[in-house]
Structure formats: structure tokens, C-alpha cells
Structure 1
Amino acid sequence: MKSAITIALVPQIKSGPWVFWENLEDSIAKASALGFDAVELFTASATAVDTTLLQQLSESYRIRICAVGTGAGKVVQGLTLTDPNAVVRDRAIAFISEMIDFGAAFNAPAIIGSMQGNIPQGIERTTALQWLSEGISILAGKAEKKGVRLIYEPLNRYETNIFNCFADAVAWLETLGTNNIQLLADLFHMNIEEASIPETIYQYGSYIGHIHFADSNRRAIGMGHTSMSDIAKALQSISYSGYISAEVFPWPSSDAAAKQTINAFNTWFK
């Protein structure tokens, strides 16, 4: 398993659960100095960061780019894959497609979380799921051509009314006819929605492609009441070898959250 930490470069999401907010090089330098294997990036768009510069920083600080978030498409531009307006849905697909291109340059998958949207009021669930399935299928095909996976994230009930539990998300994935989509196991969301995080990992481990390492209060692991012992055992038992990335609040500061995270990672996975 490999450690990662989040860097957000989108001012509009300043209150969100991302650890580093400084300029890109400072954030990568800090992550590298602490011993993280990779960083997970949240940018305003696919062109917001110069890929040549990012490649130079990655090589200079010997740190990988493990994933790219797409949430700015919703936060900044109001785009989702389940918007009743077909033009908006097409723009959402185009935005995520560009993020897939951006991430693929670093062999990093794109994550679809908030851009899945919600089932709008007055719209039948089957209709909204058809829109989501159509968009996700297009994007999964694009990602496959680029040689990367697409990561879909089940969110808790307060953030979406689409899929909150792994069982429902997996059942939906199996209707899509593609093997290029994996699920993001976010421990914060799972703490709210799953009856047992370890049992969910055991049951659906083959679908897990990325993990968000967050405590019950969305602070760094060890700052809430999440019991990591059984979770760590479950991840080891399924031979998970991907990234464990801290998508947490920078509390009490970015540096403190980062240090707490790497200490927790080393405690449970080294």
C-alpha cells in the first residue's frame, strides 16, 4: 500500500477536506519531506496546472500523482452528470474527459464524486440513473483508451441521493458492461453509510481502486473514533496495493494534519 495526501488549488473549495492549500511546489515539497509516496490533486480545470511543470516537480521531489479530482466541475461551473439539461450533462462529460487526459499524463485516474450530482426533484430515479450510466460509460471508455481507470465514489446521504452504500454502487456497476471502473472507499462516507467498514471491504474488495483515509469527523486518522485495526486487517486480507490518500480537513493546521496522517499510515500499513 502507498501513502498519498491531497492538494487543492481551487479557492472556491477552501472550506473543504483537503490538506494542503499553498502553492503547488510548496505543497509537493512538504508531502515529499514527510515521506508520502504521492499527492492527489484538485484543480479548477485540466489546464489550470502546467503539465510540464507538474512533471518536473514530480521528478524533482520524487513523488507521484496518484489521482485527480473532478469536483471543481460542479463547485465552480455547476456541472453534473445527472442535470436535467442535456447541454449541461454534455459539458460535464467534456470537463471530466479533459481531466482524464490531464491525469493520464501521469498514469493517474480521475475521480468522479460530487460531479455525479443528485436525482433532481421531479425526475424519476430510473431516468437519472440512465443519464448517469450513459455519461459514466462514455468516460470509462475514454479512460480505457488512455490506459487509466475511472474511479467512482459513493457519497454519504447528505451529499447525494444516488448511491450511498457499496452494495448498491456495485450492483449498478455490474449493469454497465465495463471493467474499467473501480470504486473509491472513503472511510468518512463509509462510517456514515456502511453497517461495517471491514465487512464491506472483505465483500467488495475486488472493486476498490482508491481509498480516502479519513476519520469519523473527517479529520486525520487518529483524531476521531474510527477503529482502524479491523479496517487495516481487511485491506491487508484483500491484498490491496493501491493508494491510501488523506482527504481530510487541515485541522488544526495543514502541517499538523499531514504529520498525523503519515504517522497513522506508518502505524497501520508499514
Structure 2
Amino acid sequence: MIKSCATIALVPQIKYGPWIYWNDLESAMKKASDLGFDAIELFTPASDTIGIEELKGLLAKYKLELVALGTGAGKVIHGLTLTDPDPEIRKKAISFISDMISFGATFGAPAIIGSMQGNVLAGNDREKTLSWLAEALEILGEKAEKAGTFLIYEPLNRYETNLFNTLNAGVKFLESLKTKNVKLLADLFHMNIEEADLAQSITDASSHINHIHFADSNRKAIGLGHTEMESVARAIQSINYSGYISAEAFPEPSSDEAALQTIQSFKKYFR
């Protein structure tokens, strides 16, 4: 069964971005639970931001699951990416994500590699840069497998990375890896920019998709932009997707309104 998920940002250095709830973990979890969300996805500064026992207690109290961890704080706070020309920075990036994998594995929650994938920087060779990304994903994919979970790779739009922008490009890259423990994230906002046909792209990449970010064309909650969701929802259901639909969307007009709009849209398309 497809389940709903709310995003919560707990990174004090960030004041705005595509996360529904902000800063107050317990308050956010209570609100998500009251609205009927099944799970949460966390964006934290580090793997030790929240104690494991504390989080277990809150998840039990509000009958929620932790289903994914964002790693973007590694780039935002520390400037780390997996494709930096400096091998020491790449090593630190791998270590940062590895710690996130270990924390998330306690809850069966994979780490997401989005902005930490980085870019081909000016003056650098694309193939060399991609070899660094591949090397990192091999290491991290194996780390996740040993921890009993998997790793999620997210193709981003052209304004955020020049590595891979479409699901098809992401699939081809993942299929080139030895590890089969790296899965694909389909983010509807990024797809609105890059994909010619969202529904067809989801169908074509079906065997690799293991997480979905639920946001409209303007990155607000679904229903507040112009994404044609009927065909997208049919495609998600047709591939027998049984994962989470996670609202990585702006908290507009407010967090509470974005959360309500999201859960109403989720129920409309997936219940």
C-alpha cells in the first residue's frame, strides 16, 4: 500500500526551503499524526542531531515511521559533495553520508543523496567527475547494504546539478554500478522541469524507483500548481509502487495549510 509522508527540517542554518514542517520536531510529528500522515522524512544537520531513543519514543507516541533522511546539510553547512576535485573533501562527504546511513538504518530508513552529489565544476572533466560519484555510490551502497537498508539517489533539475537531470539518465548510471543497492528517487518538482512526460518516465524507470517526492510545478503542495496529477498517479499505481509519497514542498501559504493540502491531495489520488 502506498503511504503518506511529511517532511521536517531541523537545520537552524536554513530559514526557508521545500520542507513542510520546521524546527520543532515533536510539534511537527503531532501535527502530521493528527492529519493522518503515515510517516516522516527528516532533514537534519548531522546524524546525531536527535538521540535514537528519543526519536523511537516520539515515533511510537505519534504512530509514525521514519522513512528517509536527507543529507543535504553536508553541502549546505560543510560544503561537502561527492564530486569535489579535492579527495579529502570527497572523503569527508562519504563519511558524513555514511554516518547518516548508520543512524537511519536503526529505523530502516535510507539516506537520500540529492545536493551532495555535486556538479562537474568549470575546468573539470565530466567522465572523471562521474567516476568520483560512482566510486562514492559503490562505497555507500555497500555500507547501506551491510546496515540492512539501501541508498537513494535523486536526479535534480539542471539549475541544481549538471550530472543527471532525468530518471532515465539516473537509471543508466545506476545500472553501470556494481552495487544494486542504490535506488532512485522520483521528485515531481524536478521532473516537471526536465521530463517530457512525467507518467511515462515513471513507468520506464519503475524497477528502480523506491521513493517519491510529492510537490507541484511551483514546489508548493500538490494542487497549488499546474502539475497534471491524474496521469502521474495512475502511473505510480500501475507500477505497483508500495513505498512512500513524501511531501518535499514549500510551507506555503503556511506549514499547516501546506500539510493539509498535501494530505488531501494524497487521499484524492492514492486512497
TM interval, short-chain normalised:
over 0.9
What is the CA-CA distance between 1:204 and the residue it aligns to?
Answer: 0.8
Match of 2:20 in 1: 19
TM-score by length of 1: 0.99
Moved over 3 A (4+): none
The answer on whether the counterparts of 2:12 and 2:23 sit within 8 Å (CA) in structure 1 is no
- For 1:51 and 1:34, locate their aligned partners in 2 and report how far apart those are by CA, in whole Å: 25
The answer on whether the counterparts of 2:11 and 2:23 sit within 8 Å (CA) in structure 1 is no
Match of 1:100 in 2: 101
Match of 1:41 in 2: 42
Is the aligned partner of 1:30 residue 2:23?
no
Secondary structure of 1:36's match?
Answer: coil
Match of 1:138 in 2: 139
What is the CA-CA distance between 1:175 and the residue it aligns to?
Answer: 0.9
| CA shift digits 1:71-101 (9 cap, x unpaired) | 0000000000000100000000000000001
| CA shift digits 1:223-250 (9 cap, x unpaired) | 0000110001001110000000000000
Match of 1:220 in 2: 221
Match of 1:263 in 2: 264
| Structure 1: segments with no counterpart, 5+ residues | none
Match of 1:53 in 2: 54
What is the CA-CA distance between 1:22 and the residue it aligns to?
Answer: 3.5
- For 1:202 and 1:14, locate their aligned partners in 2 and report how far apart those are by CA, in whole Å: 36
Match of 2:194 in 1: 193
| CA shift digits 1:110-139 (9 cap, x unpaired) | 000000000111110000000000011100
TM-score by length of 2: 0.99
- Would you say how many aligned residue pairs link Structure 1 and Structure 2? 270
> Counterparts of 1:1-270 in structure 2 under 5 Å?
1-270=2-271
| Structure 2: segments with no counterpart, 5+ residues | none
The answer on whether the counterparts of 2:140 and 2:151 sit within 8 Å (CA) in structure 1 is yes
- For 2:14 and 2:267, locate their aligned partners in 1 and report how far apart those are by CA, in whole Å: 29
- For 1:125 and 1:225, locate their aligned partners in 2 and report how far apart those are by CA, in whole Å: 34
Pairwise CA RMSD of aligned residues? 0.6
Report the identity percentage: 60
- For 2:142 and 2:116, locate their aligned partners in 1 and report how far apart those are by CA, in whole Å: 18
Secondary structure of 1:67's match?
Answer: strand
What is the CA-CA distance between 1:13 and the residue it aligns to?
Answer: 2.2
The answer on whether the counterparts of 2:120 and 2:162 sit within 8 Å (CA) in structure 1 is yes
The answer on whether the counterparts of 2:74 and 2:80 sit within 8 Å (CA) in structure 1 is yes
